[in-house]
Structure 1
Amino acid sequence: MSSVSTAEPGTGTGDHVAALESVIDTVIAPNAAEVDRGGTYPRAGIEALGKSGLLALTSAPEVGGPGAGLGAAAHVVERLAGVCGSTAMVVLMHYAATSVIEAHGPEDLRRAIAGGGHLTTLAFSEAGSRSHFWAPVGTATAEGGMVRLRAQKSWVTAAGEADTYVWSSRPLDGPGAMTLWTVPSNAAGLTVQGPFDGLGLRGNASNPIAAEDVQIPVSAMLGGDGSGMDIALHTILPTFLVLNAAFSVGVMESLTDLALQHLTRTKLTHLGEILADQPVARADFARLRIRADEAKAFLHDTLGALQAERADAALRVLQVKAVAAEAASEVADGVMRLCGGSAFRKELGVERRFRDALAARVMAPTTEALRDFVARACLGRPLLDGARDGEGA
């Protein structure tokens, strides 16, 4: 799991850091509450990120991109997640899909992504296998020089908004569990079923997509027939898991900042104190701050392990999403308790981030699945053989 490009853990890359903060301040932050309230896709923010070069961040210099690594991408996702979870999830999926397109995709598609105006995403989870992303039931059938796809995808972030889907299916003829394809979002036979109306991440357009006799060329295959699982494990999954952890860290940073503001600004007039003067409140805040810092340190260690190609890098990758997702849920719940009734009011921003924080633990691979993967890796057992046991829906 060390084939992904990395950068200094937790950092951006010079001008891109400034560009990110500018887009956050001028476009993403002002629209975040309405994106959540209306469940509207954050189109303005995504377009601004594209124009600023941030959607092209991980594209290679040979196709016109800056060639930034996973550390820079993690920084972007972390900062976005604390402001607008929906925007962060769209960008996360774009970077994950870009990782496989950069490794196996055609030059023209890579150049389109490097240009900043082309959004891509993953289309893995299916109605027939749910969060078992490694077991597609959708089919691919060769007919002359074309391939016919049939599937019921259950969750596709930016469904109907992305330009290209990285699509999984059963192999054509070869061995293995999965083959990957690039599928244009405007291909005939694709139907987006929505709108998405979820508890959190309400604007990420995570809708089902049905494919009925969708025809694509054989050349749309990413890697060899049946090689999709190997590609997913060694290229996509490290990017996806690390960026999911960065998402959770970003939400925790925002939640603890809001809690700090609440404790230092809220007055107990009858006592002549602020909440921060209360020992119990300080102890509760310290516990949450420590938990958030633990997850952030684990994320940075994972990025460092990948960069240094440490022997434990693959294990850290399997652990990092579970560590951060569970921490985010605990911190979100703790901040809600600490801020009391004020946290239930939308204007404080805590309840929105509380809802966004809950998504990571149930997003495939779920925390339960990752714990099984970690145990199997430590015990020297196959990672996926029997991994369905005990996983959530």
Structure 2
Amino acid sequence: MSLEKTLDLFRQIAESTVREEAPLVDKEAKWPEQSMRRLQREGLGGFVVPQESGGLGEGLLGLAQACELLGEESASAGLCFGMHCVGTAMIAAKATDYQKKNFLEPIAAGEHLTTLALSEPGTGAHFYYPQTQLLSVSESEFMLKGEKTFVTNGGKADSYVISTMGVDPEALLHEFSCVVVEADREGIQWGADWNGIGMRGNSSRSLALQQVKVPAQNLLGQQGDQLWYVFQVVAPYFLTAMSGTYLGVAQAAFNEAREHLMNRSYRHSGMSLSQNQLLQHRLGMLWAKVERTRQLIYNACRQYDSGDPMAVLSIISSKAEVAHCAVDVVNEAMTLSGGIAYRENSRFEVLLRDARAAHVMAPTTDMLYTWLGRALLEQLILDS
């Protein structure tokens, strides 16, 4: 199936199942189960799984566009699907035959959902400095001890890609490892349900790993080489999934404002708001802000998909810029829509709460601009 046809399928699902489920997802902080399961049933769970393992083999451009379509209806659905794709890409990057058979092929078949578990309490936005321990039990088995926070799809996925300290006690901070942990492993303990002010369907929960044993075959790549994963896989896919989702939020806010101006009239004059020159001007500015952000994201994705080594800079800036775009466009769209936009439980209320998370979800906007500046000044991106 071509990317165009695949995106048509995403659009159909977004405008039906995702849209129908979205109010309940926000009201009850409910994980978007119906949306996620339909995406799997329709063969989209393997969106970024390589074709050799039964997947669709799509890259970053497809991921950004898919998350945008989902995010326009439900930011939580967009990010939950996006994080599944990020975890999938992590497994696929250097997948062994064992990992292809036990993870990628079931993902492609719509039978397995995965996600990332990188953030930890006490490290803030520095998700790339894990303190979770990966201990060698034998040549064929590892044991994990530690705690993760803000795990999207927490308690819902079938496996979790978990970052850990290096097995070697002398390993440096950046010499960490990543391992796939199945959800049914003994010693996994979940914290309370997620109840945020926005992104309420993420199931973004804390995870305690209490002497969880996994086979050595679940290690991704080689021990201690996961800094490569951070910049070659985690950053591109993670930032793109978020960028696409929040672009969808911005587009949804623009659509709401446009519809309001098209369908409201002044009672005293009968003139449509769409005929007001000032409102025309301000809506035009909103469209330009959304569209230039979209083109930045899409261009960054095309760079990465074509193998451009400078793509990471564009990807970093994309997530930082879309955070400003989403928040600014929602705020301005609410102003254009007047008092009606401030009704409790309105569409704008949901968009406003969801958009604000764009700045604070790691890597934060400030951190991304710092990374970008360091790279442009030929300095190490990560602090020592």
Q: TM-score range by the shorter chain?
A: over 0.9
SS at 2:184 equivalent: coil
Using the TM superposition, give the Cα deviation of residue 311 of structure 1 relative to its aligned residue in structure 2, in angstroms.
5.4
Partner of 1:75: 65
The C-alpha deviation readout for 1:115-143, integer Å capped at 9, x for no partner, is 11211100000002122111111111111
SS at 1:273 equivalent: coil
**Match of 2:197, as an amino acid?**
L
Work out the CA distance in 2 between the residues paired with 1:309 and 1:209.
35
Does the Cα contact within 8 Å between 2:60 and 2:302 map onto a contact in 1? no
Q: Does 1:113 align with 2:103?
A: no
Choose the corresponding residue for 1:373, options 364, 368, 371.
371
SS at 2:155 equivalent: coil
Uncovered stretches (5+) of structure 2, i.e. residues with no partner: none
Partner of 1:38: 28
Choose the corresponding residue for 1:99, options 81, 89, 101.
89
**Match of 2:297, as an amino acid?**
L
CA RMSD of aligned residues (A): 1.7
Using the TM superposition, give the Cα deviation of residue 186 of structure 1 relative to its aligned residue in structure 2, in angstroms.
1.8
Does the Cα contact within 8 Å between 2:151 and 2:204 map onto a contact in 1? yes
Work out the CA distance in 2 between the residues paired with 1:303 and 1:98.
17
Matches within 5 A, 1:135-214: 135-144=129-138, 145-173=140-168, 174-175=171-172, 176-214=174-212
**Match of 1:71, as an amino acid?**
L
Q: Does 1:89 align with 2:79?
A: yes
Does the Cα contact within 8 Å between 1:147 and 1:215 map onto a contact in 2? yes
Structure-2 change in CA distance of 1:377 and 1:12 (3 Å): farther
Using the TM superposition, give the Cα deviation of residue 167 of structure 1 relative to its aligned residue in structure 2, in angstroms.
0.2
SS at 1:25 equivalent: helix
Work out the CA distance in 1 between the residues paired with 2:2 and 2:332.
30
Partner of 1:294: 292
Partner of 1:15: 5
Using the TM superposition, give the Cα deviation of residue 348 of structure 1 relative to its aligned residue in structure 2, in angstroms.
4.6
Uncovered stretches (5+) of structure 1, i.e. residues with no partner: 1-10, 387-393
Does the Cα contact within 8 Å between 1:12 and 1:75 map onto a contact in 2? no
**Match of 1:333, as an amino acid?**
N
Q: Does 1:319 align with 2:317?
A: yes
The C-alpha deviation readout for 1:149-197, integer Å capped at 9, x for no partner, is 1111111001000111000010101554311000011211111112111
SS at 2:213 equivalent: strand
**Match of 1:39, as an amino acid?**
A
Partner of 1:266: 264
The C-alpha deviation readout for 1:265-295, integer Å capped at 9, x for no partner, is 1121112212222222222222211111110
Using the TM superposition, give the Cα deviation of residue 241 of structure 1 relative to its aligned residue in structure 2, in angstroms.
1.2
Count of matched residue pairs = 376
Using the TM superposition, give the Cα deviation of residue 14 of structure 1 relative to its aligned residue in structure 2, in angstroms.
3.8
Structure-2 change in CA distance of 1:23 and 1:311 (3 Å): closer
Work out the CA distance in 2 between the residues paired with 1:317 and 1:214.
35
Does the Cα contact within 8 Å between 2:59 and 2:305 map onto a contact in 1? no
Q: Does 1:124 align with 2:115?
A: no
Work out the CA distance in 1 between the residues paired with 2:362 and 2:57.
28
Matches within 5 A, 1:182-261: 182-261=180-259
Does the Cα contact within 8 Å between 2:193 and 2:203 map onto a contact in 1? yes
TM-score, with structure 2 as normaliser: 0.94
SS at 2:25 equivalent: helix
Does the Cα contact within 8 Å between 1:332 and 1:354 map onto a contact in 2? yes
Over the matched positions of the two proteins, sequence identity in percent amounts to: 28
Moved more, 103-112 or 161-170: 103-112
Moved more, 324-333 or 337-346: 337-346
Does the Cα contact within 8 Å between 1:255 and 1:353 map onto a contact in 2? yes
TM-score, with structure 1 as normaliser: 0.92
Structure-2 change in CA distance of 1:346 and 1:79 (3 Å): farther
Does the Cα contact within 8 Å between 1:295 and 1:323 map onto a contact in 2? yes
